[in-house]
Amino acid sequence: MRTFVGLISGGADIGRTRLFWISFGVVVLLFLLYPTQASAFRVSNVSFYLLNIPLGLGMALLWGYCGVLSFGHVAYFGVAGYTYGVIAGNMSGNPFGPLAGVAGGLLASMFVAGVFGYFVFYARVQKWIIPILTLVLTLLLETFLGQTAGYQWRVGSVLLGGYNGMTGIPWFQVGGFVFEGYSFYYLCLLLVLACYFGLRMLVNSNFGQVIVAIREDELRTELLGYDIRARQWVVFVLSAALAGLSGLLYVQWGNYITPSQVGLLQAALPVIWTAVGGTTSLLAVAISAFALNWITFTLSSQGNQYAMVIIGGLLVATMVFFPRGIVVMVAERLGRLMTRRAAPPRQP
């Protein structure tokens, strides 16, 4: 138990005070109570903001903690989503079809990431090559999926659908219980919390410290006897699995997926969430992923065409003026304010 608590509140993420945990608990409680107060439409929207968080967390782990930047994590998002659509669509009627789809989707995205990761990490390529090649991978995937219109691109009974995408993807269900509406919201919330705590424990463990060491100095870490290639590979595949999880939740949420989900604009989003939140904190990235999804969703549903310009401008502004991330910076300011206010009574 003690090691468990130690792992969660270790030094590798912001938020370790009692006050933090109290407010964290309050926020989780608010999320739990939200469906009782809001309409089904709003709950569904909030599910969408939540389901993108694992993708952001995977990005934070890979870029922020391990120092490897990927521009192509939406490729794993898309691979998982399409695989789920194919498997669950072909097994429609079978109560365990969606579960098989989830397993297949996660395995598919991890497999693609594993093969790709083998080539880049075991070649010890220079740092800038990985983001470029991941970007090319995701562009290729978009091109491929875009030209799959027509009946010759059919897997079993499911059409891949070209640029119109795959439609009619089944809801997630386990046995007879179908996750839709409120139950899907709670599923997203539960998975996001599980991912967050799991990753927070991971980055505070020995393994987490080694990957941070790799980020700081690859050569030195290697000379201390760690196989950096294997560790980078593991982190890469893990973050691809998280991206895949988001992809699975996305297709279960909207029941469709289009090739533009793996396009350039989408590929930019996880990077933007991570940069705006702050690469050195999982929680900050989770918050910024939620907030930015909220903002873009609201802007674009109002027909505002400036959404991508605003988001892109926000990225540039963050990188230039707040290189450590806006959420991290705000959190530090708040933390300092709290300790200053709390300090006088303790001191005398």
Point out which span in 40-48, 165-173, 231-239, 264-272 binds another protein (CB under 8 A): 264-272
312: contact with another protein by CB under 8 A: yes
Site mask, another protein, residues 272-301, x = CB under 8 A?
x--x--------------------------
The single residue listed with the structure tokens 């873009």 is 296
CB-CB neighbours of 298 under 10 Å: 12
Stretch that binds another protein, among 11-19, 73-81, 92-100, 266-274 (CB under 8 A): 266-274
Using rule CB under 8 A, residue 219 touches another protein: no
Q: Are 289 and 330 in contact (CB under 8 A)?
A: no
CA distance 105 to 248: 7
Q: Which is nearer to another protein, 72 or 247 (CB)?
A: 72
Interaction between residue 147 and another protein (CB under 8 A)? yes
Tokens standing for 136?
Answer: 């090319």
Contact in structure between 79 and 301 (CB atoms under 8 Å): no
- CA 339 remoteness from chain centre: 32
Contact 65, 208 (CB under 8 A): yes
Orientation angle between helical segments 73-90 and 228-254, nearest 10 degrees: 50
Judged by beta carbon, residue 28 or residue 136, the one nearer another protein is 136
245 vs 51: CA distance, rounded Å: 8
State which of residues 210, 299, 308, 329 lies at the interface with another protein (CB under 8 A).
308
DSSP state of 10: S
Q: Using CB under 8 A, which of 26, 27, 194, 319 touches another protein? A: 319
Residue 163 as a binder of another protein (CB under 8 A): the answer is: no
132 lines the binding site for another protein (CB under 8 A):
yes
Q: Which of 41, 68, 44 is nearest to 229 (CA)?
A: 68
* 1 scored as a contact of another protein (CB under 8 A): no
Give yes or no for residue 136 binding another protein (CB under 8 A).
Answer: yes
Contact residue for another protein among 315, 327, 328, 331 (CB under 8 A): 315
The structure tokens listed for 118 are 């083998």
Pair of tokens at residue 241: 């699995």
Q: How many residues bind another protein (CB under 8 A)?
A: 45
| Out of 13, 35, 55, 63, the residue judged to bind another protein by CB under 8 A | 63
**How far apart (Å, rounded) are the C-alpha atoms in residues 54 and 192?**
6
Task: Kindly state whether residue 143 participates in binding another protein, applying the rule CB under 8 A.
Answer: yes
Instruction: Let me know: does 255 contact 169? Beta carbons within 8 Å.
Output: yes
- Kindly state whether residue 71 participates in binding another protein, applying the rule CB under 8 A: yes
When binding is defined by CB under 8 A, the residue of 36, 37, 39, 126 that contacts another protein is: 126
Nearer to another protein, 135 or 234 (CB): 135
Token pair in block for residue 98: 């969606």
Residues of the shown chain interacting with another protein in the complex, contacts defined by CB under 8 A: 63, 67, 69, 71, 116, 119-120, 122-129, 131-133, 135-137, 139-140, 143-144, 147, 264-265, 268, 271-272, 275, 305-306, 308-309, 311-316, 319-320, 323
